Amino acid sequence: MSEIPEAGPAPGTAPVPAGPDAAELEDRWRRTLADLDNLRKRYARELAREREAERERVTTAFLPVLDNLDLALQHAGADPQSIIDGVRALREQALAIVAGLGFRREDQAGIPFDPTRHEVVGVVDPAGSQVAPGAVAQVLRPGYGSPEHQLRPAAVTVAQRPES
């Protein structure tokens, strides 16, 4: 993966007429071609490195959850209520990490169905669900995402619209 030296000869190109101006111009062109090639190689390496750095950053953000899972189990012999409290704190912590990474939890019922954020897994009778027809009746699995991109949609049941 050695880089092409700047202004190195490029084989297989047609000869150009001699003369200082043409030679100077050809030299500039070849240098720029070599720059272009070096830039391509450099960026390919950088892209891989940036992906790796981001994977490390995000995984590191989740490590406190693992630490607290370890701790919860070390105290598993303790009062069951304290374990439940520990799990509740763990859940808040995990949600805060996800929020800190820029992703919002989508778990609200009663709001209008939105196909960009909701995946319908069932339709219910509005009479029994206490929400308006066309609204989300129940969130079975929360969704997560940023305004630009959903990590996954919320799995919801929707109150049936009246037959038109």
Which of residues 3, 6, 26, 114 is near a copy of itself by CB under 8 A?
26
Which of residues 6, 35, 114, 125 is near a copy of itself by CB under 8 A?
35
Q: Amino acid identity, residue 148?
A: E
Which of residues 33, 109, 111, 132 is near a copy of itself by CB under 8 A?
33
**What is the C-alpha to C-alpha distance for residues 121 and 156, in angstroms, rounded to an integer?**
6
Which of residues 8, 9, 41, 69 is near a copy of itself by CB under 8 A?
69
CA distances from 144 to 91, 98, 108, 158 (A): 15, 9, 12, 19
Buried b (16+ CB within 10 A) or exposed e, 45-57: eeeeeeeeeeeee
Residues 6 or more apart whose CB falls under 8 angstroms from that of 162 comprise 133
Indicate the residue among 39 and 120 with the shorter CB distance to a copy of itself. Answer: 39
Q: Which residues bind a copy of itself (CB under 8 A)?
A: 16-17, 19, 21-22, 25-26, 28-29, 32-33, 35-36, 39-40, 43, 46-47, 50-52, 54-60, 62-63, 65-67, 69-70, 72-73, 76, 80, 83-84, 87-88, 90-91, 94-95, 98, 101-103, 141-142, 144, 149, 151-152
